[in-house]
Amino acid sequence: MRPLTVTSRPPLTLKIGDQNLENFVRSGYDHIHVTPDTNVMRIFDKEGFIKMGFPYYGWLISIYSVVLKVSLAFKIPLIFYGENGEVEYGGHLEKDKPRITLGEIGKIFLEDGYTKIFNKLKKRKQNLSWFELPKMEENSFFITHWSYFESWDPYRNYLIAKEKCNLTESTNTNLGTFTNFAQTDQALYDLHTYIMYLKFGFGRATQDAGIEIRRGAMTRDQGLNLANIYDGKYPENYIKIYLDYYKMSKKEFDKVLDHWANKKLFYKCKKTKIWKPKFTIGQDFIY
């Protein structure tokens, strides 16, 4: 196969992500880089942050809309994504399967909020070209994930990408976890995993530890120790960037976090004003 690789530029990109993408393309791939209207992206992301607790919702939409539109333009019927997040990290699919439908993209992967937010912005007469899911005949294309055909191993993928495509890792561990090689392309991912922690009581370290345990790289006890050390770090270093991006005050920003925090699992520290867990990972918690 000779794949055409496609990237929808995320908001608040980081230097390491930009450099890794350039290194990847230079390693020998045809590539199309699409930058959807950044003002519209910001509005989508802010709506997602407030209404869904999903801080890069606009970019998530574009991952599907951009790729689908490019596949139509070049008449490419086979579309491959990497891992299926609904399977690898926990989600709503009843079972892993090779084919993903347009209906599942809207209802499951976009959490059934796409139409409402899209129509709201459409009324504002925004430039929604790259955010609109195209109308396609289901039998004319095939959307799938690489992780269905091969066990998804982020560390193995990292080593291959490092050897073959000259990808580099962060010099420090990523916020909220013990790894330094995955999801290093944008600043909003730290906020995404922090809200995930506030909603469900598990964060980036728990997510990464689960992957490492399943692939046999560490024991459950080791994973629990790492999760209890690293999970749920408040993204202090990027707060000013987030406030500028969303055009919000700190009070407005914290109000959104307060809304999405699971009060059965967390309490808000009066001194730091940051949510703290009522539980220890790995121990029974009854509420």
Distance CA 222, CA 213 (A): 9
Please report the pLDDT score of residue 260 as a whole number. Answer: 97
Span 209-230, pLDDT tens digits: 988 998 899 999 999 999 999 9
C-beta separation of 26 from 32 below 8 A: no
Give the tens place of pLDDT for each residue, 247-264: 999 999 999 999 999 999
**What SS3 class is residue 251?**
helix
Q: Give the amino acid at 25.
A: V
Would you say 229 and 203 are in contact if contact means Cβ atoms under 8 Å apart?
Answer: no
Task: State the sign of the Cα–Cα–Cα–Cα dihedral 201, 205, 207, 209.
Answer: negative
Identify each DSSP E strand in 63-202 by its residue range. Answer: 78-81, 142-145
Task: Count CB-CB contacts under 10 A for residue 274.
Answer: 14
Give the Cα separation of 190 and 67 in Å (integer): 24
- The amino acid sitting at 171 is T
pLDDT for position 285? 55
Q: Is the pTM of this model over 0.85?
A: yes
Domain definitions of the chain by residue range: 4-149, 172-277
User: Smallest Cα–Cα separation from 184: which of 26, 9, 13?
Assistant: 13
Distance CA 86, CA 154 (A): 16
End-to-end CA distance of the chain: 53
Please report the pLDDT score of residue 96 as a whole number.
Answer: 73
Q: Which of 34-38, 61-65, 83-87, 121-125 has the lowest mean pLDDT?
A: 121-125
Query: Predicted confidence band at 284 (pLDDT cuts at 50, 70, 90)?
Result: low
